[in-house]
Amino acid sequence: MKNTLLHYVGGLFLLTIFFSSCQTIPPKATAVSPFDKEKYLGTWYEIARFDFFFEKGLDNTTANYSLRKDGKIKVLNRGYNKEKGKWKESEGKAKFVDSENIAMLKVSFFGPFYAGYNVIAIDKEYKYALIAGDSLDYLWLLSRETTMPESVKENYLKIAKEIGYDTSQLLWIEHDLAKK
């Protein structure tokens, strides 16, 4: 009886971890819909982000999105580490969770492991975007240029705070190097 109970509790624990790790968007966030994948492709400059392991110490960070032959989206992230004096790149792939009309995607840089990538705000011209990860630990403000108007920043920060993000933790990214 004791072994059966332990197996049952252990199984529930593993199922809870599995299903919570499948979350692709924070609970209060909503992905943009309708979404135009074609208009989103191209280069985006990171204006602000929550720091995480891959981008630690990087400035001049960009993300470039292009179509792959298999229908997924190629993701090329790039940034400059001033301390080491060199560029760092990482290539990944993204796919839509459901419809391509809803800006809820999963992105992978490490084999079969995917994480949420959600466009939760974007302007009509697709010049500025607010991106949520799969939890409140990941947030990005992106622009087609190296700057973003103050009014857009303020609006995106308001949206992020309403979802539950601690926007005081954002790193504001420098773009002071010409593309090399």
Mean pLDDT (whole number) for 48-68: 93
Phi, psi of 152, rounded to the nearest 5 degrees: -70, -45
For the CA atoms of 40, 147, 173, 129, the dihedral, rounded to the nearest 10 degrees, stands at: -30
Asked if residue 128 has pLDDT above 90, the reply is yes
Q: Where are the domains of the chain?
A: 2-172
**DSSP 8-state class, residue 164:** T
**What was the pLDDT predicted at 178?**
59
**What was the pLDDT predicted at 53?**
79
* Euclidean distance between CA atoms 47 and 26, whole angstroms: 21
Mean pLDDT (whole number) for 53-65: 93
pLDDT tens profile 89-118:
999 999 999 999 999 999 999 888 899 999
Domain covering 2-172: architecture = Beta Barrel (2.40)
* Euclidean distance between CA atoms 141 and 64, whole angstroms: 14
